[in-house]
Amino acid sequence: MLLPLPAEKIPIQEISINKNVKLFIKREDVIHPQISGNKYWKLFFNINNYLAKNPEKPYIITFGGAFSNHISAVSALGNLAKIPTLGIIRGEELKNKWRDNPTLLFSKRNGMNLQFVTREEYRHKEKLTEFLQKEFPDALIVPEGGTNEDAIEGVKMMLNDETKDFDYLCTAVGTGGTIAGISKFCEENQKVIGFKAVDDDSLENKILELTSKKNFNLIDSTFGGYGKIKDENIRFINDFKENYGIPFEPIYTGKMMQKIFELIDDGYFPENSKILCFHTGGLQGIEGANLLLEKQNRNLII
């Protein structure tokens, strides 16, 4: 087994907010320094099941954007296990600029080969996947964001006896795999809320395909669009770290927590509700975000 079960329990940290609800964060971000949060669990069964069947000449191929947490995690996994990896990267314009991108530079240093495709080609990942599977028949091809059936089984590991007592389970949503796993395996009385980082009307149907339950709802937390970072997002993330000692990246978990605070202020949650938020990691994205913010002469994420 390449990815082991954690030796210690993932901590659940209470956030003191002086409101009529109780707020907690499950710190999945501390599970591994480079394969953190939901990425660890999405890859857990994908890689362990694959290596059990293909131990001789493994090869991992996956997809992602310029600052993809998933690309970063897969490259780190490949470096750790001495498995060659290939990242199909959205944006042909990055071909000669990857050295200026901290995520892509990190992935390259981990030994990942990068293949840059146009955004039009990337939109048709199913065709790309078919082509790659023919070219590399023994490779493990992991979808964008790591979302597939094995990933859903891995997300199940984020739930345990300690998570059963919460009324609400909250997670950021990108490709939908994490919320699908939480929805599928949580307790019958629990409500699941997904905070959308991307404005994608097809997300609900994608999630329903992966979980038979309709115990979740989706709330927009894009704050202007995927990858957009507003000054209010930076202020919230920096204030949160200063007050509670927990860092967030600005695309997924940071926006989710900001939206949850707004909902609490608006009385969205019933009195005495116990709310558990999953910190899904991705802190590697802070460096890339700060690179862009610095070019815009704006405040940085601490």
DSSP state string for 11-54: PEEEE---SSSEEEEE-GGGS-SSS-THHHHHHHHHHHHHHHH-
Give the pLDDT confidence of 65-111 residue by residue, as tens digits.
999 999 999 999 999 999 999 999 999 999 999 999 999 999 999 99
Q: What percentage of residues in the chain have a pLDDT greater than 90?
A: 95
pLDDT over 80 at 1, yes or no: no
Give the pLDDT confidence of 223-232 residue by residue, as tens digits.
999 999 999 9
- Do 12-33+158-295 and 39-146 have matching folds? yes
State the pLDDT confidence band at 37, using cuts at 50, 70 and 90.
Answer: very high
Shortest CA distance to 58 belongs to which of 84, 87, 79? 84
Distance CA 140, CA 49 (A): 10
**CATH number of the domain located at residue range(s) 12-33+158-295 in this protein:** 3.40.50.1100
pLDDT over 80 at 178, yes or no: yes
User: Would you kindly state where each structural domain of the chain is located, as residue ranges?
Assistant: 12-33+158-295, 39-146
Average pLDDT in the chain: 96
User: Which pLDDT value is given to residue 40?
Assistant: 97
- Which CATH architecture fits 39-146? 3-Layer(aba) Sandwich (3.40)
